[in-house]
Structure 1
Amino acid sequence: MFKNYLKIAWRNLSKNKGYTIINVGGLAIGMAVTLIIGLWINDELSHNDYFTHKNQIAQVFQSQTFNGETGTGPAIPRPLEKALRESYMDNFQHLVMSSWNTSQYLKYKETSISRTGNFMQREAPDMLDLNILKGEKDGVREINSIMLCESTAKALFGDEDPIGKTVKVNSQYDMMVTAVYEDIPFNNSFNDTEFIMPWDKYVSVNEWIKNAEDQWGNNSFQMFVQISDNTSFESVTAKILKVKQELNENSKEFNAELFLFPMQDWHLRGRFENGQQVGGRIKYVWLFGIIGAFVLLLACINFMNLSTARSEKRAKEVGIRKSIGSQRSQLINQFLGESFVVVLLAFLIAVVIVVLALNGFNELARKDIDFPWSSVGFWAASLGFVLFTALLAGSYPALYLSSFRPVEVLKGTFKAGKHSGLPRKILVVLQFTVSVAFIIGTVIVMQQINYAKNRPIGYDKEGLIQIPTMSQDFQGKFELMRDEFIASGAVVEMSTSSAPTTNIWSNRSGFVWEGKPEGFQEDLAWTEVSPEYAKSLNLKIVQGRDFSREFPSDSNAVLLNETAVKYMGLENPIGKF
């Protein structure tokens, strides 16, 4: 019987090619959009699934209060490690101090590349359960060892075995390759960790880090932990709150508090407001999920309307089939079978559309989503998706067409009831309402995007190039480089900075100025620059003047932006200390 339903469905579709193209095409486009959104949502929800211990890994976060407003972030002081190891290690399987992700120049023979990675303690590979392809998992136990991801090892060594080879880092020190690990997939934290070097090396080559060993007020580090099997993030957080007294020894006014921020929340629920977790990207998952559902609904409504609009052409067919004994349930099954064939064809076309559009979508969404050809779960979900869509799109036409009375149809006296067109009118109104809402939403979003792209940013980004200078080869050679570049005519101006233009790498407090209110707390972003910085970025100086090489006293000068002046409550700040 089912085979006959499919044959009849196929004959009807083949006979009415124009109707079929419109119906299948409309459904295919709607399903393609829904599929792409579904793949994006799955990618978002599966973030960090690569890590075996995802449900036990957390980062230590800290909240501090400034002038009644609480800020939250991952920056912690170095002495915290010692305090946790000495008194609370029973709650942790692993505790790992880490640098911030940083770019380094790696050189082997004549090959020199720039890669990003971390200095981490030796427990990091175990905590992250890295897939070691060559070498040993405990690859950063020695101070001069380095672990490379597969792509970095390939770029440096080609087909050579990298284990035991020496890599020069920043033309400063030699590191021996002890392990090669599998590249961490794109939709995971640490995916840009292309090398791991020992934390002890980081400490040994930076005097300021050595000095920070007892500085509770120096929040320049980050810490990752894996909690024990018999505990929870909440219980461990409650225990480490006891460290608060030591943490606040040098910063009592900030009322600092520590807590564990689980890895499972890093990506989707990483937003904090006034010390409270308030969500994050999860709202976009819900938003796009709703959009996908409405797009599919529009496609199904279009199918329903087209099917019911052809009711007169199918009326005689229904009348004859009923007159020779067909039950209404059989007719419903037939029409649902036709709906299934249409939806199945639409799904196959939608798959082709998605495959062709996926590269462009990845570029737009900054993703690395592959079509899950080999995923049994995907195809099982797709089958359910097809059946659900077929039922949703075909239910109303099936019920409507199967309700015709055979006597009236065959006599030619069949007329639709007074309110028979009401459901279709409701569907059309709903379809146009949702469509108009989508159009308005799209226009608003495009306006916001254009505003964000073209809004004033305080400097001229046209022709501006930023070059990281981590290598020792650059140190002490800025003046020479600047003279050479400007003399070449290719560069108008050149300057140095302790942080990128688009990032904040350092905050400072403890400033004193005339008129500072009693008890006023400040935490200002701070960047050290050369005298040419403002000119290089074409910053607009609204009061006073830029730094100048002609004034040696400028070594003790500071430039404030308008926000800082307003925040500090300064009036006529030029020349004041």
Structure 2
Amino acid sequence: MFKNYLKIAWRNLIKNKAYTLINIGGLALGMAVTLIIGLWMQDELTHNNYFTHKDRIAQVFQSQTFNGRTGTGPAIPRPLEKTLRESYGDNFKHLVMCSWDNDKYLKYKDVSISRTGHFMQKDGPELLDLKIIKGEMDGLREINSIMLNETTAKAIFGDEEPIGKVLKMNNLNDMMVTAVYEDIPFNNSFTVADWLMPWDKYVANQEWVQNAEENWGNNSFQMFVQIADNTSMDKITSIIKNVKKDLNEETAEFNPQLFLFPMKDWHLKSNFENGKQVGGRIKYVWLFGIIGVFVLLLACINFMNLSTARSEKRAKEVGIRKSIGSQRGQLISQFLSESFLVVLFAFFISVLIVLISINGFNELAKKEIEFPWSSVTFWSTSLLFVLFTALLAGSYPALYLSSFKPVKVLKGTFKAGKYAGLPRKILVVLQFTVSVAFIIGTVIVMQQINFAKNRPIGYDKEGLIQVPTFSEDFRGKYELMRNEFMSSNAVVEMSSSSSPTTRVWSNRSGYTWEGKPDGFQEDFAWTDVSPEYAKSLNLKIVAGRDFSREFATDSTAVLINETAVKYMGVENPVGMLLRDSDEEDPEPPLKIIGVLQDIIAQSPYEPVKQALYVYDKDGESSFYNLRLNPKQSAGQSLAVVERIFKEHFPDLPFQYDFVDEEYGKKFAAEERVGALSGIFTALAILISCLGLFGLTSFVAEQRTKEIGVRKVLGATVFNVWNMLSKDFLKLVVVSCFIAVPIAYYVMNGWLQEYPYRVILEWWIFALAMLGAMFVTVLTVSFQAIRAARSNPIQSLRTE
């Protein structure tokens, strides 16, 4: 029986080629979008699945309150480690102090490369359950040991055996390779762990880390834990919550609250607002999941509309089948088999579309998704997906077509009924409601991106590069390198800074000033800069003066930004002193000599943070900031800069970043959302138009004789076009008025996450509505004009 159903279904598909192509094409596009979104969602939801103990690994976070506003993050004080080990050690299987991402130069013989990694305590590799290829899991037990991932080991040693080899780290320390571990896959934390070195080495090389051993106010460290088998994260959080507040009176005023942030939430639920977890990337997982469902629904609506529109053509077939004994259940099975066949063909085409587009999608979404050919789960899910889609698309047509009365059909008195077209109209309205909402959402996302991009950033980023100076080789050579670069004609200005131009690496508090309100809890972004910093970035001094080497007193001088002036609540800060509130060991006071125009160093979607720029006469910072000569090409200037660099640092690789590119990365997440939304919106509109095109062709076919009579009586092409177009246009207008409030509500909620955001204006919604109506008219017009230009004699000759 089923074979017979499929045979009949195949004949029907072959007989109506245009209808078949529209149905299969629309469904294939819808299924392709749903498939690729499904693969993307799987990649997001399985983030960190590489780690065996994912459910029991956490990072220690803390929340602190400044002036009534609570901030949350992973930065913790170093003394916390000793306290947790000694007083609460039974709650943890592993407790690991770890540095932030570190770029280090690794040199072996003539090979010198820069790679990113972490200094970790010895339990780190076991906590992460790294897959050891060569060597031992406890490879960090010795202070001069180093563990490398497979790619880094290959880059340094080639085909040589790496275990036991000694390489130079930053041309300062000899490190012995004790293990090579498998590269951590892309969709996991610690993907940038190209190397691991002992935490004790980090402490030994950094005086400030040594000094922080008993300093509860220095929140510059991070800690990872694997909890014991007999406890839970919530239980441990309740135990350690107030540890810092109870043990240190100086920090108690900020009400520090410690908690364990589980690894399973790192990627998707990492946003906190006023001390509360408020989601994160998970919103995009749900967003694109909803988009995938709606795009598939649009394709299914096409199938329903086209099937029911052809009802009169199938009426006699149904009547004959029923008259010779077919039951309604058998007819439903037949029509569902047609649906299944169409969906099956569409699925194979959708897989082909995914294969063709997956590389481009990966590039756009910054992913490394591969098609899961060997996944039993994928193919099982796909089978269920095909069956579900076939049922979704075919159920209404099957129920509708199988309900015809055979007597009326065979007598020729069958009519679809006054309200037979109502379900089709509702489905068309639903289609275009979704499409218009997608258009509005995409436009607003792009507007928000452009709004932030057009925000004044406060400095000239064009032609500005930053060179990392993490090696000890750079110490004491700032003046030499500045003279060399400046005299080369490739660089017009140079400075150094402790943070990259586009980020803030340090924050400080504990300062008082004249007029500071009682109980005010200050928090400043802190950057050490050489005297030429403002000149190299083309910063504007709005009050006072810039740093000068001619004034010896500038060694304790500081520049502040405009936001800091408002933050401190003073009118004329120039000449004021910022004093250290530490009474036992105070630092010399800092004298404010000038006010800089605000620059965006953090998120362009948020207000600029109050900042201090402190004089660093030695240039012993982390970056050189070079302003390239605008009178010659960047490539020409960079070649000269590289030559000079290699003359002085022959054992180090030449690295640099264009500041404008680094700044552009701040928009990457939103731009990806905008680009993907734009593509999905375009496909949604295309699918809707395919259905509208097919529906218009059937309507025109049904009204062929009416059009012929109208033309004989004098109707023009415009009259016929207007008759066929206005009904569909009305439906789209209804869609617009439904879509606009829905889109406004959703997008207004999305914008609330950005303190610096675009204002929703009426023209955005008007533009989307006009665009939808234009596309509708364009789609309908082809068939309408074709019908209007047909010869009436051919349609009336049978009368």
For Structure 1 versus Structure 2, the TM-score category normalised by the shorter chain is over 0.9
CA distance in 2, matches of 1:376, 1:236: 39
For residue 323 of structure 1, what is the amino acid of its counterpart? Answer: S
Which secondary structure does the structure 1 equivalent of 2:187 belong to? Answer: coil
CA distance in 2, matches of 1:157, 1:341: 56
1:151 aligns with 2:151: yes
For residue 23 of structure 2, what is the amino acid of its counterpart? Answer: N
CA distance in 1, matches of 2:70, 2:503: 21
Q: Deviations over 1:43-96 (max 9, x none)?
A: 111111111111111111111111111111111111111111111111110000
For residue 546 of structure 2, what is the amino acid of its counterpart? Answer: D
For residue 393 of structure 1, what is the amino acid of its counterpart? Answer: A
Aligned to 2:349: 349
Aligned to 2:468: 468
Residue 242 of structure 1: how far off its partner (Å): 5.3
1:14 aligns with 2:14: yes
Aligned to 2:596: none
Contact 1:60–1:224 (CA<8 Å) still a contact in 2?
A: yes
Aligned to 1:240: 240
CA distance in 2, matches of 1:448, 1:369: 28
Residue 175 of structure 1: how far off its partner (Å): 0.5
Aligned to 1:224: 224
1:492 aligns with 2:492: yes
1:14-413 paired onto structure 2 within 5 Å: 14-241=14-241, 243-245=243-245, 247-413=247-413
1:554 aligns with 2:554: yes
Q: Deviations over 1:430-481 (max 9, x none)?
A: 1111111111111111212222333322222222222211122222222222
Q: Deviations over 1:336-376 (max 9, x none)?
A: 11111111111111112222222222222222211211111
Contact 2:498–2:527 (CA<8 Å) still a contact in 1?
A: yes
Aligned to 2:541: 541
Which secondary structure does the structure 2 equivalent of 1:176 belong to? Answer: strand
CA distance in 1, matches of 2:247, 2:372: 48
Structure with max Cα Rg: 2
Structure 1's 384 and 252: CA in aligned 2 closer, same or farther, altered over 3 A? Answer: same
CA distance in 2, matches of 1:12, 1:321: 15
Contact 2:119–2:198 (CA<8 Å) still a contact in 1?
A: yes
CA distance in 1, matches of 2:456, 2:348: 46
Q: Deviations over 1:386-406 (max 9, x none)?
A: 111110011111111112222
CA distance in 2, matches of 1:13, 1:52: 50
* Runs of 5+ consecutive residues of structure 1 not aligned to the other structure: none
CA distance in 2, matches of 1:7, 1:550: 94
For residue 116 of structure 2, what is the amino acid of its counterpart? Answer: T
- Greater alpha carbon shift after TM alignment, 320-329 vs 132-141: 320-329
CA distance in 2, matches of 1:576, 1:442: 49
Aligned to 2:512: 512
For residue 154 of structure 1, what is the amino acid of its counterpart? Answer: K
Contact 1:78–1:218 (CA<8 Å) still a contact in 2?
A: yes
CA distance in 1, matches of 2:452, 2:377: 39
Which secondary structure does the structure 2 equivalent of 1:268 belong to? Answer: coil
For residue 475 of structure 2, what is the amino acid of its counterpart? Answer: Q
Contact 1:271–1:278 (CA<8 Å) still a contact in 2?
A: yes
For residue 108 of structure 2, what is the amino acid of its counterpart? Answer: Y
For residue 433 of structure 2, what is the amino acid of its counterpart? Answer: T
Which secondary structure does the structure 2 equivalent of 1:370 belong to? Answer: coil
Q: Deviations over 1:5-59 (max 9, x none)?
A: 2222222222222211211111111111111211121111111111111111111
Contact 1:216–1:249 (CA<8 Å) still a contact in 2?
A: no
CA distance in 1, matches of 2:269, 2:384: 30
- Greater alpha carbon shift after TM alignment, 390-399 vs 209-218: 209-218
Count the aligned residue pairs.
577
CA distance in 1, matches of 2:292, 2:448: 21
Residue 108 of structure 1: how far off its partner (Å): 1.2
Residue 568 of structure 1: how far off its partner (Å): 1.1
- Greater alpha carbon shift after TM alignment, 310-319 vs 295-304: 310-319
Aligned to 1:4: 4
Contact 2:242–2:258 (CA<8 Å) still a contact in 1?
A: no
Contact 1:248–1:255 (CA<8 Å) still a contact in 2?
A: no
Residue 247 of structure 1: how far off its partner (Å): 4.2
CA distance in 2, matches of 1:280, 1:248: 32
For residue 57 of structure 1, what is the amino acid of its counterpart? Answer: I
For residue 161 of structure 2, what is the amino acid of its counterpart? Answer: D
Residue 552 of structure 1: how far off its partner (Å): 3.1
Contact 2:312–2:416 (CA<8 Å) still a contact in 1?
A: no
CA distance in 2, matches of 1:542, 1:215: 37
CA distance in 2, matches of 1:563, 1:272: 24
Which secondary structure does the structure 2 equivalent of 1:251 belong to? Answer: helix
CA distance in 1, matches of 2:459, 2:279: 32
- Please report the TM-score for the alignment, with normalisation by the length of structure 1: 0.97
Residue 183 of structure 1: how far off its partner (Å): 0.8
- Greater alpha carbon shift after TM alignment, 130-139 vs 449-458: 449-458
Aligned to 1:563: 563
CA distance in 1, matches of 2:504, 2:216: 21
For residue 268 of structure 1, what is the amino acid of its counterpart? Answer: L
Aligned to 1:420: 420
Residue 162 of structure 1: how far off its partner (Å): 0.8
Contact 2:80–2:244 (CA<8 Å) still a contact in 1?
A: no
CA distance in 2, matches of 1:343, 1:549: 75
For residue 133 of structure 2, what is the amino acid of its counterpart? Answer: L
Contact 1:64–1:257 (CA<8 Å) still a contact in 2?
A: yes
Contact 2:147–2:177 (CA<8 Å) still a contact in 1?
A: yes
Which secondary structure does the structure 2 equivalent of 1:141 belong to? Answer: coil
Which secondary structure does the structure 2 equivalent of 1:384 belong to? Answer: helix
Q: Deviations over 1:172-220 (max 9, x none)?
A: 1110110011111111111111110000100111111112111111111
CA distance in 2, matches of 1:250, 1:576: 25
Contact 2:242–2:256 (CA<8 Å) still a contact in 1?
A: no
Contact 1:34–1:296 (CA<8 Å) still a contact in 2?
A: yes
* Runs of 5+ consecutive residues of structure 2 not aligned to the other structure: 578-799
Which secondary structure does the structure 2 equivalent of 1:542 belong to? Answer: strand
Contact 1:48–1:263 (CA<8 Å) still a contact in 2?
A: yes
